[in-house]
Amino acid sequence: MSDLSKISKEEVEKALGEVSVTALEDWAMMLVESADDISDIFNAKDNEVYIARMIFKGPIEGTIEAVCSKDFAIMLCKNLLGLEEEAQPSEEECLDSLREMTNVLTGNFVTAAFGSDLVFDLILPEAERLSTKELESRIDVSDFTSFSADDCKVGFRVGI
């Protein structure tokens, strides 16, 4: 892409959607379906959600954020670590898995959205567990690209 200032919001969202599906299906080994939104994440049965964010810097700077239910974080961790169904991964293992997924997603996103000829620095991702009330007070989930992955809700958004 020669003029990055002309990239549209639709092109950014399309790239994010495509790399999200690829990361969830191929890398995280999950069955993925599009979801209308993830607003029902605020009704999580345990009132806990996980959020991760990663900054990218280069010709364009921005962030990728992922928000998911606790069930998704546990499933992701089990898939990545090859744990048995009955295993109970620690919170730190779940956060590490979410950080790694955000890292994979961000790396693939900058290439898909801006091309492979540009160089970007990826800042180490951060992840944390929040109550649904904290999440609702901090972010608007309506602008997340949303999926159901193995029947668990997850959403991604890019900020440029």
Burial class of 107 by CB neighbour count within 10 A (0 to 12, 13 to 18, 19+): middle
DSSP state of 58: S
pLDDT for residue 11? 92
Considering only CA atoms, which of 82, 72, 95 is closest in space to residue 151?
A: 72
Which domain covers residue 51, as residue numbers?
4-159
- DSSP H helices in 82-156: 91-114, 132-138
pLDDT for residue 121? 97
Structure tokens at 10: 């639709």
Residue entry with tokens 């590490």: 96
pLDDT for residue 36? 81
CATH of the domain at 84: 3.40.1550.10
> Domain count of the chain?
1
For the stretch 140-157, pLDDT in tens is 877 889 999 998 889 999
pLDDT digits (tens), the chain, 160 positions: 446 667 888 999 999 999 999 999 999 999 999 888 777 766 666 778 999 999 999 999 999 999 999 999 999 999 999 999 999 999 999 999 999 999 999 999 999 999 999 999 999 999 999 988 898 888 887 788 999 999 888 999 999 9
